[in-house]
């Protein structure tokens, strides 16, 4: 069964701290993995997509890594800011069938 | 332009009403999706259209009826909904079905309340 897990469910850090969000998946034969952020009551904003052939992707203060053999991806956020407060979701596509499996998200609170 | 638009933003309907949600993208994407999201939960996939053909239906009740009139437009027709159908309905699109670089882009959602 294909499942995506995100731990912890919630995280609170002081401003300026570097932090890591985790995403685990059960089947290593993924097609791609995508990280999103969602603000309350809003749609999802795409942050980074990692294809199965890639090990990491970077965008500004964000860096996402992928380790298929261990079934894990991490999202690293450098120098966190209060504006980074949101729920972060990862989604995995298996098989190229356009079916994306979402983790339940990590709610991040960055305290000023 | 990486925008997916959805209308209306908010919708309140009675259980006997018929209404439609609309989604539009002009990025040339060939896959479009409907998701349902309840509070504090991740999005749940409802339907996928690939090259304007319905490719995935996640056993959604028939009171939800999707339609893809062309490659840029996706509708969700609603009829005889139940209060438990109240949720945020999200539309998404992605570039090319079957490619590894199949990045999804989401719209802002329609907040649906069924009375």
Helix (H/G/I), strand (E/B), else coil: A90: strand
Q: pLDDT per residue over A10-19, tens digit each?
A: 999 999 999 9
pLDDT of amino acid A47: 97
Does the pLDDT value for residue B89 go beyond 70? yes
Beta bridge partners of B45: B35
CB-CB neighbors (< 8 A) of A99 in chain B: 45, 48, 56
pLDDT of amino acid A3: 92
pLDDT (mean) for A101-105: 95
* B106–A96 CB contact, under 8 Å: no
pLDDT (mean) for B14-20: 93
pLDDT (mean) for B2-9: 93
Q: pLDDT per residue over B37-59, tens digit each?
A: 999 999 999 999 999 999 998 89
Helix (H/G/I), strand (E/B), else coil: A6: coil
Confidence of residue B97 (pLDDT cuts 50, 70, 90): confident
> Which candidate, A75, A26, A71, places its Cα nearest to that of A52?
A71
pLDDT (mean) for B2-19: 93
Q: pLDDT per residue over A48-57, tens digit each?
A: 999 999 999 9
CB-CB neighbors (< 8 A) of A32 in chain B: 100-103
Tokens of B52: 């304007």
pLDDT of amino acid B52: 93
pLDDT of amino acid B1: 61
User: Touching check for B107 and chain A: CB below 8 Å?
Assistant: yes
Collect all residues with Cβ–Cβ distance below 8 Å to A95 and sequence separation of at least 6: A29, A31
pLDDT of amino acid A45: 96
- CA distances for B48 relative to A32, B38, B53, B58, angstroms: 17, 19, 8, 9
pLDDT (mean) for A26-50: 94
CB-CB neighbors (< 8 A) of A31 in chain B: 100, 102
Does the pLDDT value for residue A105 go beyond 90? yes
Distance CA B14, CA B115 (A): 5
Q: How far is B47 from chain A (nearest CA, A)?
A: 9
pLDDT (mean) for A34-42: 95
> Which candidate, B35, B18, B48, places its Cα nearest to that of B107?
B35
* B103–A31 CB contact, under 8 Å: no
Q: Which residue has the higher pLDDT, B15 or A87?
A: A87
* B101–A51 CB contact, under 8 Å: yes
- CA distances for B22 relative to A62, B10, B73, B77, angstroms: 33, 12, 7, 9
Residue position matching structure tokens 């090259």: B51
The answer to whether B70 and B93 are in contact (CB under 8 A) is no
Confidence of residue B2 (pLDDT cuts 50, 70, 90): low
Q: How far is A46 from chain B (nearest CA, A)?
A: 6
Strands (E), B9-102: 10-13, 18-25, 31-37, 44-50, 53-57, 64-70, 73-79, 87-94
Average pLDDT of chain B is 93
Q: Which residue has the higher pLDDT, B103 or A98?
A: B103
The answer to whether A5 and A103 are in contact (CB under 8 A) is yes
* A98–B102 CB contact, under 8 Å: yes
> Which candidate, B76, B36, B37, places its Cα nearest to that of B54?
B76
* Pairing label, strands B73-79, B87-94: unpaired
pLDDT of amino acid A104: 96
Our measurement of the distance from residue B75's CA atom to the centroid of its chain's CA atoms, rounded to an integer in Å, reads 7
Residue of B nearest to A46 (CA): B105
Mutation for B interface: A43, A49, A94, most B CBs within 10 A: A43
pLDDT of amino acid B93: 96
**Size of the A and B interface in Cβ pairs below 8 Å:** 70
The percent of residues in chain A predicted with pLDDT above 70, rounded, is 100
Q: How far is B83 from chain A (nearest CA, A)?
A: 19
The answer to whether B67 and B74 are in contact (CB under 8 A) is yes
């Amino acid at each position: 069964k294909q499942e995506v897990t995100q731990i912890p469910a919630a995280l609170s850090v002081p401003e300026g701290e570097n932090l890591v969000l985790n995403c685990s998946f059960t089947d290593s034969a993924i097609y791609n993995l995508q990280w999103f952020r969602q603000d309350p009551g809003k749609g999802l904003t795409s942050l980074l997509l990692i294809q199965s052939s890639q090990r990491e992707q970077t965008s500004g203060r964000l860096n996402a890594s992928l380790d298929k053999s261990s079934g894990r991806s991490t999202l690293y956020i450098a120098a966190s800011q209060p504006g980074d407060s949101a729920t972060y979701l990862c989604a995995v596509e298996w098989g190229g069938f356009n079916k994306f499996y979402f983790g339940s998200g990590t709610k991040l609170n960055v305290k000023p | 332009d990486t925008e997916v638009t959805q209308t209306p933003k908010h919708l309140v309907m009675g259980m006997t009403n018929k209404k439609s949600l609309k989604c539009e993208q002009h990025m040339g994407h060939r896959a479009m999706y409907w998701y349902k999201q309840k509070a504090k939960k991740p999005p749940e996939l409802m339907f996928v259209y690939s090259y304007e053909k319905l490719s995935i239906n996640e056993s959604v009740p028939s009171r939800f009826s999707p339609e893809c009139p062309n490659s840029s437009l996706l509708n969700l027709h609603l009829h005889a909904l139940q209060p438990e159908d109240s949720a945020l309905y999200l539309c998404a699109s992605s570039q090319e079905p079957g490619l590894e670089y199949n990045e999804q882009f989401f719209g802002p959602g329609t907040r649906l309340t069924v009375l």
